[in-house]
Chains A and B, each alone.
Chain A
Amino acid sequence: MTMLETHGLEVFYRDFQALFGVDVSVAEGETVAIIGANGAGKSSFLSALSGLSRSRGEQILLDGKPIGGTRPFDMVKLGIVLVPEGRRLFPSLTVEENLQIGAEGKAIDRGWTLESIYALFPVLRERRTQPSTTLSGGQQQMVAIGRALMANPRLLLCDEISLGLSPAVIRDVYAALAEIKRRGTTIVIVEQDLTAALNAADRIYCFIEGRVSLSGRPAELTHNQIQLAYFGG
């Protein structure tokens, strides 16, 4: 059952066009990975889905209804929540306060509470009163994911969540993502770490220069196909 679709999605930054007619579909409960080199338009795609970049109404459909151009805070109310690139925690707030801000966008209860987030990331419970800036990169990423979960999303958008983390920490973060998926959340990840993306995703889309160059199930794609779609040729 298709939950989210983009049709001919275009994203502009003033005179610069980042996406040229991107068609992507995401089914309920699925994890979809967007891969591609730097500047391929992956983050622009999430930016449009989260409402940070403007798009036309019919270019993004949620349950068949046009939602393109919805303001970011209303996208959250629709259940679409972004874990932004670079984590972007609130430096003046403690760990727990960062998580609590996430709950401001909650429209429907899907079972995510402070307790369930501390159960998913036990280390955050120990650090709950610390300023978010004192945490390690991996712990900050957990707060960023937890903060988004506090909004009880239907669709969780994760932008480069492995960036700057060690392989062991990346494994932990992706293990948490698998658990989040198991609880019924649909996930779109943008990822430069190909191994992590291919392992986590049910389906992938590869972007090149603002267009989809390849899509499919990781198991059905050959190494060569992916390499060609990733780097062009």
Chain B
Amino acid sequence: MGFLNTIIQGVLLGGLYALYAAGLALIFGVMRLVNLAHGDFIVLGAFAILAIATALGLPAPVAAMIALPFMFAFGWALQRLILNRTLKDDLLVPLLVTFGLSIIVQNGLLQVFSADSRRLSLGALETAAFNVGDITLGVVPALTFVAAILVLIGLSLLFYRTRLGRILRATSDSVEIVEIMGVDPRKIFAIAMGISFVVIAVSAFFMGVRANFDPSAGPGRLLFAFEAVVIGGLGSFWGTLLGGVILGVAQTIGGSISPEWQQLSGHVVFLAVILLRPRGLLSRAA
């Protein structure tokens, strides 16, 4: 029963990684931009929720709801003012710019919030648990997993059932051709980044209630997001869930053997997938 428990905890952890990965995959899919500051923006989102909760004396979930439209606007503006200028033929420029943003965000957070670790409080819910058979599930990890599924369903509906989604998929196929069809891709990119930041805000909330965070936590989240995307394969939102779950399970199995194996075993699985299926497990055949 211990082993099954480990697997299930890993699956739930995978929900969090899928949330990290979904925002990253969306941006890469639409504009081929690898956002190296993705993890730092998640941490920034968590601090923003914390600041709203503290300043207004609100519970963290309400603060997170308030943060959502601001995060959309922030992502939209970031794309319009900075990132759109970097998207030319050279892939190196957006990498360098987002790397620079990562440093700026980390140091900015350090200045404003200090290096102390923080947490978003959910009160008694944080430690609440329920039993399914012999297995005890934490309420927060279970909610995280449900949120990941809801976010992925929402993104799938957006992409496959709406006019905006049609334009986003077309833009992903060819920026040049949507341009000659009368669509300004810079506007589409800005909306996509806004949506990515909404997903970032949701990830930030669940990261913040599940564990401590501090201004230096970003690159670690980016790594998990990146590994989940690569394991699952690009081009499918559900691939990010699969990738997140595989990464989460690998980590909890590794961690159950020895604590220092937890992260290592996740990386090993990631490397194994790169070797055996470089396009990921659920990638579109190309």
Q: Does B174 contact A (CB under 8 A)?
A: yes
Q: Which of B129-137, B162-170, B210-218 binds A?
A: B162-170
Tell me, in angstroms, the Cα distance from A67 to B184 when the chains sit together: 17
Decide if A101 touches B167 in the complex (CB within 8 Å).
Answer: yes
**Contact check: which of B170, B184, B185 meets A101 at CB < 8 Å?**
B170
How big is chain A's contact interface, by range?
A: 20 to 34
Decide if A92 touches B169 in the complex (CB within 8 Å).
Answer: yes
B181 proximity list for chain A (CB < 8 A): 73, 76, 81, 101-102, 104-105, 147-148, 151
CB-based A-B contact count at 8 angstroms: 72
Tell me, in angstroms, the Cα distance from A92 to B174 when the chains sit together: 10
Known contacts A90-B173, A91-B173, A93-B173: A84-B167 contact under CB 8 Å? no
A104 proximity list for chain B (CB < 8 A): 167, 178, 181-183
Could you tell me the distance in whole angstroms from the C-beta of B163 to the nearest C-beta in chain A? 8
Count B-side interface residues using an 8 Å CB cutoff.
18
Q: Does A88 contact B (CB under 8 A)?
A: yes
**Contact check: which of A88, A92, A98, A101 meets B172 at CB < 8 Å?**
A92
Could you tell me the distance in whole angstroms from the C-beta of A2 to the nearest C-beta in chain B? 24
Known contacts A100-B166, A101-B167, A104-B167: A90-B174 contact under CB 8 Å? yes
B174 proximity list for chain A (CB < 8 A): 88, 90
Could you tell me the distance in whole angstroms from the C-beta of A223 to the nearest C-beta in chain B? 35
B182 proximity list for chain A (CB < 8 A): 73, 76-77, 81, 104-107, 151
Please provide the chain A residues from 70 to 98 with a CB less than 8 Å away from any CB of chain B in the complex.
Answer: 71-73, 75-77, 81-82, 84, 88, 90-93, 97-98
Decide if A92 touches B173 in the complex (CB within 8 Å).
Answer: yes
In the complex formed, the residue of A with least CB distance to B166 is A97
B167 proximity list for chain A (CB < 8 A): 101, 104
Known contacts A84-B177, A101-B178: A90-B169 contact under CB 8 Å? yes
B170 proximity list for chain A (CB < 8 A): 90, 92-93, 97-98, 101
A148 proximity list for chain B (CB < 8 A): 181
B166 proximity list for chain A (CB < 8 A): 93, 97, 100-101
Could you tell me the distance in whole angstroms from the C-beta of B158 to the nearest C-beta in chain A? 14
Q: Does B126 contact A (CB under 8 A)?
A: no
Please provide the chain A residues from 130 to 185 with a CB less than 8 Å away from any CB of chain B in the complex.
Answer: 147-148, 151
Tell me, in angstroms, the Cα distance from A91 to B171 when the chains sit together: 11
Could you tell me the distance in whole angstroms from the C-beta of A58 to the nearest C-beta in chain B? 23
A88 proximity list for chain B (CB < 8 A): 174, 177
Q: Does A52 contact B (CB under 8 A)?
A: yes
Please provide the chain B residues from 144 to 195 with a CB less than 8 Å away from any CB of chain A in the complex.
Answer: 163, 166-167, 169-170, 172-174, 176-185
Please provide the chain A residues from 102 to 120 with a CB less than 8 Å away from any CB of chain B in the complex.
Answer: 102, 104-107
Tell me, in angstroms, the Cα distance from A82 to B179 when the chains sit together: 10
Tell me, in angstroms, the Cα distance from A92 to B179 when the chains sit together: 17
Q: Does A55 contact B (CB under 8 A)?
A: no
A101 proximity list for chain B (CB < 8 A): 166-167, 170, 178, 181, 183
Given contacts A50-B180, A88-B174, A92-B172, 6 further A-B contacts (CB under 8 A): A52-B179, A52-B180, A81-B182, A90-B169, A101-B170, A104-B181
Chain B residues proximal to chain A, CB less than 8 Å: 163, 166-167, 169-170, 172-174, 176-185
A-B residue pairs in contact (CB < 8 Å), sample of 15: A50-B180, A51-B179, A71-B179, A72-B180, A76-B181, A76-B182, A77-B182, A92-B172, A93-B173, A101-B166, A101-B170, A101-B178, A101-B181, A105-B182, A151-B182
